[in-house]
Amino acid sequence: MENVNLNTDLVKAVVSNEKAITRRKAKNADNTAQNNTARLENYAGIAVEIADPKRFPRNKSGENFFDTTVSGEIKRQLENAGVSESQAKYYYRLSTKLVKKLKLNGNATVTQVAEFFEAESITSEAKLKAYFNGDSKKTNKEKLLDKAVGRLTKSGKVSTEAAVLKTEADIEEFYAAMKARFADAQRQDEAVKKAVEENKTAGDVLNKVTA
């Protein structure tokens, strides 16, 4: 066999790039963790801030926690400070839910909210959203069903906006594909079990011969 050698400079360049990729991946993971922590700190801070009924009067009638004047002012101040409109809505909505869930008042502390996050394993904004929309308590099958044909909300309604399967034809096609994939997996499992059994039998015979 002939000796083959990659160009040394090429190898050095590849290794250098791989090291850079690894560094960036580690940095991105670290950034994500820091972003998640910062976002949850914001939610905790806002929840404690708006929990004081003297400074943020609660709605005396109706289902909404605050009336439109108070809720609008909270979101407006966040937006004027530089928070995007969509993020300001999430901050208001979920922070209000935290106040209601934890029964926070004027004596509330960020530590109370942080302890709630830890107890419920809420480590990101996504998990906070999932907790309050009920998704965190769903089984894997229920989550799969949500993705397939539409998410079942806490109010009992089905949101089909992000559904993958839109028609009965889609469902039938997917069902056939699932059955075929399941059959393939079963055949592979049986083949592996058969191979293990045959190897075991061959080993037993060899042991007897060489005993």
Span 32-61, pLDDT tens digits: 888 889 999 999 999 999 999 888 888 887
pTM higher than 0.75, yes or no? no
Q: What distance in Å separates the CA atoms of residue 22 and residue 163, rounded to the nearest whole number?
A: 35
What three-state secondary structure class fits 75?
A: helix
* pLDDT score recorded for residue 1: 44
Q: What distance in Å separates the CA atoms of residue 128 and residue 147, rounded to the nearest whole number?
A: 19
* pLDDT score recorded for residue 121: 92
Contacts of 122 (CB under 8 A, 6+ apart): 40, 116, 128, 131
DSSP per residue, 5-67: ---HHHHHHHHHHHHHHHHHHHHHHHHHHHHHHHHHHHHHHHHHHHT-TTTSPPPSSSSSSS-
Q: Looking at residues 114-142, what average pLDDT do you find?
A: 85
- Mean pLDDT (the chain) is 85
Contact 124, 107 (CB under 8 A): no
* pLDDT score recorded for residue 142: 78
* pLDDT score recorded for residue 17: 82
Q: What distance in Å separates the CA atoms of residue 116 and residue 48, rounded to the nearest whole number?
A: 13
* pLDDT score recorded for residue 208: 67
Q: What distance in Å separates the CA atoms of residue 192 and residue 117, rounded to the nearest whole number?
A: 44
Residue at token pair 């050698």: 5
What three-state secondary structure class fits 147?
A: helix
* pLDDT score recorded for residue 34: 85
Span 144-203, pLDDT tens digits: 888 888 877 767 788 887 788 888 888 889 989 888 998 888 899 888 888 888 787 766
Contact 124, 29 (CB under 8 A): no
Span 99-108, pLDDT tens digits: 999 999 999 9
Element (H, E) at 200: helix 168-210
Contacts of 130 (CB under 8 A, 6+ apart): 136
